[in-house]
Amino acid sequence: MDSRSGVAEENTVSSKGIRKKVKNSESVALQRYKIDTYNLVDLDKVLNDVYCSCRPVSADYEARKDTLKHINALAFDIYGDSKGDRPVLKAYGSFAMDMFFARSDLDVSINFGDGVSELPRDSKLQILERFAEKLHSLQGEGHVRNVVSILSARVPIVRFLDQRTCVECDLAVDSKEGVLNSRIIQIISQIDDRFHKLCLLIKHWAKAHDVNSALSNTLNSISITLLVAHHLQTQDPPILPPFSLLFKDGVDPPNVEKRTQEFLNKEKRNKESLGRLFVTFFVKLQSVEFLWRQGLCVSLRSGLWISKRWRRAGVGINVEDFLDVSQNVARVVNDRGAKKIYSSINQTVEELFEFLNGKIDGAHLKDKLFVPQPLVEPPLVPQVEVYHQPPHHNYRCDEFKGHHNKRPRFGNGGEEPIHAAGDDSHAIDLPPPPPPFGRVYRIYCDKFGPQNLP
């Protein structure tokens, strides 16, 4: 175990073994669903319609650029005109990758200097507090609202809404890796437009199914992006190359862009449609559900599935950070989050094949896949507790603990186990059950019969 990185080194033998398991599981799934027998032209049309409808327009780009100008003006007010002390503000995340929606947040990194060393956490907090103080003053003037400092998070941020552009912004400090990560993804997305389209579609799907939130221990935006990239890397033939080929001269953007040009000039050998890539993305993930706990991990560097054990227990999905392979970018996904994700994946596979089999039309499929569905909570069944005599002092719930499996025998006042089925010698007629509002109804049996007390 590498104590510094917190992960075990990749085991080459184990990686070969787990790749064999993935191949077998995926092959069985593809044969079961008989994907090759379907004409996916109609699905391509549905997905392209959704892609075009969710793509940001020029006004969305301008709004984010204006928000960056406003934050730069904010930094000028705080630090003055001294270039040596004033920070450089850079966008990162979905906007920098050009994989955002009209309502997506804008992530901005407040960077001081070009050094590679990271600022101490205390320094980051002090910087964010200065920005938060200034934002609160602007909030009073009506320029911003909903200013919130989230300083206890792993990556502390200050969140606010720019009322002039209606763009929500997350300010972080010294997120140089996030800036670099985003720039590299944006460069690589130029290799094939199916990467960009698939990323937006899967993110749109994840938002609709509420599985795109670190707060709910599901997939964050970068995890989805890298899962899509890996899906394209593992096609036959591959659509995207292993990132290690793009990093031969280093991970600085100019060199990555230079290497990327080599793949831009190659004729596309893989002709898979967007529809087939979309279906197989979900089928593939569905088929490997039970392999994550065996050490299955996505590796963008190698462009392969690998075996890798992470120190943290209970991780649901493993996606290696391509810049820092000691980090799992999907680390927030726990067992509960993984169950929620896979519930949505299984439901989506079922709906896709309902469409392909002609059971639902394209409009219905769009609603099922990309429109948030109302959350239907199961009704709360009221508890019914039966007693011979009501207590005379109070009716607190904790007074009746331990009586759920016993009820008084009507007529003699002594507590005895509930009668077996068919024994109605002491049965009583209870009133109809009350509406399921979650209250505890206590039904007392006295000489006047069953009595309902709240």
Residue 63: CATH number of its domain: 3.30.460.10
Structure tokens at 201: 């579609």
Report if residue 410 sits inside a domain: no
Question: Is residue 45 included in any domain, yes or no?
Answer: yes
Beta strand spans in 178-247 (E): none
pLDDT of residue 115: 60
Tell me the β-bridge partners of 306.
Answer: 297
Q: How far is CA 44 from CA 2, 201, 208, 231, 249, in A?
A: 46, 12, 20, 18, 38
Based on the fold, state whether residues 231 and 150 are members of the same structural domain: no
| pLDDT the model gives residue 168 | 97
**CA 133, CA 395: separation in Å to the nearest integer?**
51
Domain count, the chain: 2
The answer to whether residues 44 and 132 belong to one domain is no
Residue 391 lies in a domain: no
Task: Look up residue 389 and give its two tokens.
Answer: 């005599």
Separation CA 330–CA 213 (nearest Å): 11
| Separation of alpha carbons 311 and 295, rounded Å | 11
Cβ atoms of 191 and 245 closer than 8 Å: no
Same domain, 126 and 225: no
pLDDT tens for the chain, residues 1 to 454: 343 344 445 567 789 999 999 999 999 999 999 999 999 999 999 999 999 999 999 999 999 999 999 999 999 999 887 666 788 899 999 999 999 999 999 999 999 876 667 789 999 999 999 999 999 999 888 899 999 999 998 889 999 999 999 999 999 999 999 999 999 999 999 999 999 999 999 999 999 999 998 888 999 999 999 999 999 999 999 999 999 999 999 999 999 999 999 888 676 789 999 999 999 999 999 999 999 989 999 999 999 999 998 776 556 899 999 999 999 999 999 999 999 999 999 999 999 999 999 999 999 999 999 999 775 544 554 444 444 444 444 433 333 334 444 443 334 444 333 333 343 333 334 444 444 444 443 443 433 344 443 3
Cα angle, residue 100 at apex, residues 64 and 214 outer, rounded to 5°: 110
Q: How many CB atoms lie within 10 A of CB 167?
A: 23
Domain boundary at 342, 370, 398, which?
A: 370
Domain ranges, residue 167 = 58-178
CA distance 280 to 270: 14
Residue 216 lies in a domain: yes
C-alpha span between 321 and 298 (Å, rounded): 9
Q: What is the distance between the alpha carbons of residues 132 and 149, in angstroms, rounded to a whole number?
A: 7
Using the 3D structure, point to which of 328, 345, 370 is the last residue of a domain: 370
CA 65 to CA 221: how far, in whole Å?
A: 21
Cβ neighbors of 8 (< 8 A, separation 6 or more) are 1, 2, 308, 309, 310
Q: Is 162 contained in some domain? A: yes
| Phi/psi of residue 274, nearest 5 degrees | -60, -40
Question: How many whole angstroms separate alpha carbon 379 and alpha carbon 285?
Answer: 32
Task: Give the C-alpha distances (Å, rounded to integers) separating 300 from 80, 98, 179, 225.
Answer: 42, 20, 18, 11
Verify that 78 and 42 share a domain, yes or no: no
Q: Is 161 helix (H, G, I), strand (E, B) or coil?
A: strand
86 neighbors 76 (Cβ within 8 angstroms): yes
Report the CATH number at residue 49: 1.10.1410.10
Give 380's DSSP letter.
B
Q: Which residues are paired to 91 by β-bridges?
A: 108
Name the domain boundary from 178, 201, 232: 178
Whether the Cβ atoms of residue 305 and residue 17 lie closer than 8 Å to each other: no
- DSSP secondary structure, 35-82, as one string: GGGS--HHHHHHHHHHHHHHS--HHHHHHHHHHHHHHHHHHHHHHTT-
**Whether 240 contacts 191, CB under 8 Å:** yes
pLDDT of residue 215: 82
Cα–Cα distance for residue pair 169/341, rounded to 1 Å: 26
pLDDT attached to residue 379: 54
Whether the CB-CB separation of 225 and 329 falls below 8 Å is answered with: no
Q: Which two tokens stand for residue 212?
A: 């795109």
Q: What is the pTM of this model?
A: 0.79
